[in-house]
Amino acid sequence: MSHMTHLRTQRNDGIEDEVDCRKKSVARCLFLKIAENFSRTYNKGPFKLICDDLRPSNVIVDDEMNHRCVIDWEFSYAAPAEFTYCSPWWLLLAHPDDWADGLDSFLAQYLPRHEIFSQALKESEDEEIRCGTLSESQRLSEEMAPSLQNGTFWFCLAATSSFAFDDICWRFIDPEYFGTLTSIEERIELLSSKERDSLVEFVRVKTQQAEERMLDEDRTLDEILAS
């Protein structure tokens, strides 16, 4: 999981203190547990081409608003089909990672746009189906429309968000699966014995790194991948 790798390998500014480190590590372990059973429908594919940076500012149009090309494909990868069924984050033209007023503010402004987009998408699909250029099985609107209510939107957003991951997990995902959070110790009890044992050493190493604030040794790409 890239979020755990990021937390483990970022030496400086990855955590605030011991409490923050423990909470971030637990969030990633629990997210992996949820991911194992989140959806099994498409375990064997299809795996769609997903571009995390696909948004209006990266779509080039001509003077007559015809699509000419799409740019900035560097954040593209093969992903589970569920990623395709999420309402797009760019409806507010800003990623939740960059939303300064917090996720509750993001959600309050996102919901009405989500409703408008879902309806517009359905109407467009209806027209394409009438014209014979789209089949009923190719509809996205029926999966996208409920994606905020059934949690798919938040799960996929957490999986692809760098800085908003922890806030999304604790605000929208954790309560849905594990109930109201009263203490981090309750969540630690949900980890395996191996994960709990590893947590102690992980927190020790990360807090030591935070105190030392040393730069990592210079390594080649092959050395990093082999570690």
- Burial (0-12, 13-18, 19+ Cβ within 10 Å), 155: buried
Residue 188: predicted pLDDT: 95
Residue 45: predicted pLDDT: 78
Low-confidence ranges of the chain (pLDDT < 50): none
Q: Collect all residues with Cβ–Cβ distance below 8 Å to 89 and sequence separation of at least 6.
A: 95, 96, 157
Hey, what's the torsion of the CAs at 184, 188, 189, 193, to 10 degrees?
-170
Which tokens go with 188?
A: 């630690």
List, for residues 175-186, the tens digit of each pLDDT value. Answer: 999 999 999 999
List, for residues 108-128, the tens digit of each pLDDT value. Answer: 999 999 999 999 999 999 999
Q: What interhelical angle do 193-212 and 18-37 show, nearest 10?
A: 140
Residue 38: predicted pLDDT: 83
Question: What 3-state DSSP class applies to 69?
Answer: strand
Residue 19: predicted pLDDT: 92
Residue 15: predicted pLDDT: 85
Residue 61: predicted pLDDT: 93
Residue 216: predicted pLDDT: 64
Residue 2: predicted pLDDT: 83
Strand partners, 79: 48
Which tokens go with 61?
A: 């149009």
**Claim: this prediction has a pTM higher than 0.75:** yes
Cα distance between residue 169 and residue 157, in whole Å: 10
